[in-house]
Amino acid sequence: MEVENSRLEIRKKINSLVKQFYELKDETFVPGQTHILTGLAVYDDLELNAIFNSVLDGWFGFSKKGEEFEREWAKYVGTRSSVLVNSGSSANFLALDGVKKLNNLKGGEIITAACSFPTTVNPIIQLGFKPHFLDVDKSLNVNPEEIISAINENTKGIMIAHTLGNPAKIAEIAKIAEERGLFLIEDCCDAVGSTYEGKNCGTFGIASTCSFYPAHNITLGEGGSIAINNPELCKIIKSLRSWGRDCFCRSDEHKELGACNKRFDYLLGGIYYDHRYVYSQIGYNLKPLELQAAMGLEQIKKIDQFNKARKRNYKIYQQELEKFDNYINLPEINPKADPVFFGLPLIVNNPDVSRQDLMKFLNSNKIATRFLFGGNLLNQPAYKNIDYLKTGELDYTNNLFKNCFWLGIHPGVTEEMIKYVISKFKEYFSKC
Ligand SMILES: Cc1ncc(COP(=O)(O)O)c(C=O)c1O
């Protein structure tokens, strides 16, 4: 007891020191000197202490905190369950592998966008499907009309992202999928909090994914999640995440014979075997650490506040950048959509403006910029020899490949920073 009390006292001291350490963080913005980043982990001593306490607890592998986060995340997204994994890329891979196993699919075509983050598309190739690439429209998303024209007898599903958080016409796309018996996986890595027709992105398809890498709506350092309504799919994906095991006990399972109530009664090859060591899937290990979930449990409390800051930042930029619409545009936003943008997409629309030169100017003024991921993936070296289909000439995708870039609007971006960025645009465009 005495030892436990001493350990508790030391823990309190550690927590207090961590708080002091955090409070000394200098967040002064010095125009032209402080980098304005495209993504940033926004946290305080609560997250730091959640991580430290998790480490001090001495249980590192995915367990109770991971499961608690899964319940909280499902509640937030609005699905029956969620599965926590080590990245958004793993989430995309497991979502598709799970759907493949659930529906016993052996291949076929999956409709997606050529203007994508690579790991939205990579699972399609890695899991033996053929990507069917479509163009995107001025919302940066694949639209329903294009999808209808691309569907053929080999089409099995649709796997698309809401680009940079701007919702695709996802209710219409979900309807098409349902009517044609196709599955729909929404990559919501950039679209957490965005809604369409008042409904959360991530609730329209059979599964949706998100990323918890620092640039995203909340961060666990690294991490991702799959949001699911179908209990069978959830079970398959959990199994795939955890070596392919058949056991579905929770970490707090108290029944001696496990949740299945027959832990030692599984007959394998004529031998009684422990259910914990029965493998029903060809699985992987894509689990995150408890300390990541501990951080996530603090971050999730702040998500509404973070999303509000993103929306505020987008709105200020939107109002200010209208003045420069002879040079740059923002994407179109569907009237049914209420986006929480991941970044601020800018499309150079004037042949006299060089995107490269503008980005160099911004970067030299400490304003970080990013490309729209792979732009047109078909121009990327990794995709040179893949087996694929495309519908149309991907004209707008190629325009984005050539002319689009984005800036940070995460909650660490302040109004003062935006004012500075706008002043730099003014300076640059005054010389055009
Ligand atoms: C649309 C999209 N999908 C997938 C990912 C992959 O997420 P992660 O970096 O967590 O693997 C990202 C990453 O930013 C993304 O933007």
CB 117 less than 6 A from any atom of ligand 1: yes
53-248+280-300: CATH, from 3.30.420.300, 3.40.50.300, 3.30.70.370, 3.40.640.10: 3.40.640.10
pLDDT of residue 215: 86
- Cβ(98)–Cβ(237) below 8 Å: yes
The domain limits of the chain are 53-248+280-300, 249-278, 303-430
pLDDT category at 432 given cuts 50, 70, 90 is confident
Ligand 1: centre distance to CA 351 (Å): 31
Q: Does 216 qualify as catalytic in the annotation?
A: yes
Over the stretch 106-129, which tens digit does the pLDDT of each residue have? 999 999 999 999 999 999 999 999
**DSSP H stretches of helix in 58-184:** 64-77, 88-102, 118-126, 144-150, 170-180
Write down the pTM of the prediction. Answer: 0.97
Q: Which atom of ligand 1 is nearest to 119's Cα?
A: 4
pLDDT of residue 368: 98
Give every CB contact of residue 325 below 8 A, 6+ residues apart in sequence: 349
Over the stretch 375-431, which tens digit does the pLDDT of each residue have? 999 999 999 999 999 999 999 999 999 999 999 999 999 999 999 999 999 999 999
SS3 122: helix
Fold observed for domain 303-430: Aspartate Aminotransferase, domain 1 (3.90.1150)
Q: Which pair of tokens denotes residue 182?
A: 């196709």
Q: Which atom of ligand 1 is nearest to 211's Cα?
A: 10
CB 120 less than 6 A from any atom of ligand 1: yes
Strand partners, 285: 242
The chain-wide mean pLDDT, for the chain, equals: 97
CB 123 less than 6 A from any atom of ligand 1: no
Ligand 1: centre distance to CA 300 (Å): 18
| Residue corresponding to tokens 């032209």 | 32
Cα distances (Å, whole numbers) of residue 294 to 4, 36, 169, 223, 429: 22, 28, 35, 12, 46
Radius of gyration of the chain (CA): 23
SS3 95: helix
Q: Which atom of ligand 1 is nearest to 116's Cα?
A: 1
pLDDT category at 1 given cuts 50, 70, 90 is confident
Q: Which of 35, 132, 162, 216 is catalytic?
A: 216
Q: Is the dihedral of CA 337, 342, 343, 348 positive or negative?
A: negative
CB 88 less than 6 A from any atom of ligand 1: yes
**How many of the other CB atoms lie within 10 Å of CB of 18?**
17
Q: Rounded CA gap, 378 and 303, in Å?
A: 35
Give every CB contact of residue 287 below 8 A, 6+ residues apart in sequence: 61, 62, 66, 84, 85, 86, 241, 242
